[in-house]
Amino acid sequence: MKFAVVPEHIRDLQPYKAGKTLQEVLDVYKPERIAKLASNENRMGCSPAALKAAQDTFGQIMNYPDPSSRALRAEIAKMHGIKPENVIAGNGSEGVMSLITRTFFKDTDQALTAAGTFIGFWVLINSRGVKLVKVPLTQNYAFDLQALADAITEETRVVYLANPNNPTGTYFTKQEFEWFMTQVPEHVLVIMDEAYYEYAKDEPNYPDSMRYRMDNVITLRTFSKGYGLAGFRVGYGMAHEDLIGNLMKVKLPFEPGSPSQAAALAALRDTEFIERSVELVLRGKERLYAFLDKKGMNYVKSASNSVMMVFDNENDAAHFTDKMLERGVVLRHLPAFGIPEGVRITIGLEEDMTQFEWAFEQVVK
């Protein structure tokens, strides 16, 4: 039945579909062990200090959380040498992205991004009912900043850039970013999604957008990746205080929750844990590169915590993903991202990568 009250752009909306949960894999395939390498989570877990901080809030769980996340925003501001008024917290960086789509668009506006990036942004824009323009990635699966600059029009309100990109792991350089921003008119807001910043910040020539302090740039970051707090759903945005002030008007009053705020604050202060998380991923990527090189497989080198394998066609990629799943290795096939020949592999613990190699040997003869 089609209800007349439901707008057409919602009826036709394709929702975001996450990777399979551990329980789904256990129910269907019953493997002895699961290596969950599909969702770019931190397989190390989270900081023990973050877990304790969350648990310490349970005695006050009957009370609403701080509606403006004052302590967390103050700590983030201190880290970056900015004011708390330049920071907003939300339910993951995608929560802040949702605020942006609800705050800054008029019905005649357009959004611009790549055809091969984070699906969540596409879903949010389509749910808002404004036009979404997608520019193809380069042949190397990177954002084509030249093509994006050429696609900006008077109707363009927001440009979404993911650096590094999800799911490809590619990144654009300081020079490329600086040139691109000279092509962006003042009326256009640029979202810099830096969800994988902790893994990419030491890459040669990586542009940390917070070093530029541009008035029309909103930087998004998250605690779901390097900090291992995906289940708590905490992210934040940093921008000019006028932009943040308007986002705060639209924000739901009590997000994130008290345990989430406390865990995120403790995670920020545990610098040793984040350093170990990054080191694990760096070692795991080098191990995976060496293995795939030995097997003659195509892949894209990555600045994030995952690596994208590239197959000859969609059928080969789907077959590989399905057969690995039967052996308890959960990977992400990427047709929904517009890359049907791609399969994304999250870097896991050493035992996860060992299981990946064992299953690969069984599947690829």
pLDDT at 365: 79
Q: List pLDDT tens digits, range 101-131.
A: 999 999 999 999 999 999 999 999 998 889 9
pLDDT at 20: 64
pLDDT band at 326 (very low <50, low <70, confident <90, very high): very high
Cα(327)–Cα(217) distance, integer angstroms? 44
> Which candidate, 187, 176, 194, 249, places its Cα nearest to that of 216?
187
- Domains of the chain with bracketed CATH: 8-45+272-363 (3.90.1150.10), 48-269 (3.40.640.10)
pLDDT at 8: 72
pLDDT at 249: 94
What's the predicted TM-score (pTM) here?
0.92
Q: List pLDDT tens digits, range 327-338.
A: 999 999 999 999
pLDDT band at 195 (very low <50, low <70, confident <90, very high): very high
pLDDT band at 13 (very low <50, low <70, confident <90, very high): low
Residue 17: pLDDT over 80: no
pLDDT at 164: 98
pLDDT band at 32 (very low <50, low <70, confident <90, very high): confident
Residue 98: pLDDT over 80: yes
Residue 286: pLDDT over 70: yes
Residue 21: pLDDT over 80: no
Q: Are 92 and 235 in contact (CB under 8 A)?
A: yes
Residue 143: pLDDT over 80: yes
Residue 5: pLDDT over 90: no
Residue 262: pLDDT over 60: yes
The alpha carbon of residue 295 and the mean position of all alpha carbons in its chain are separated, in whole angstroms, by: 29
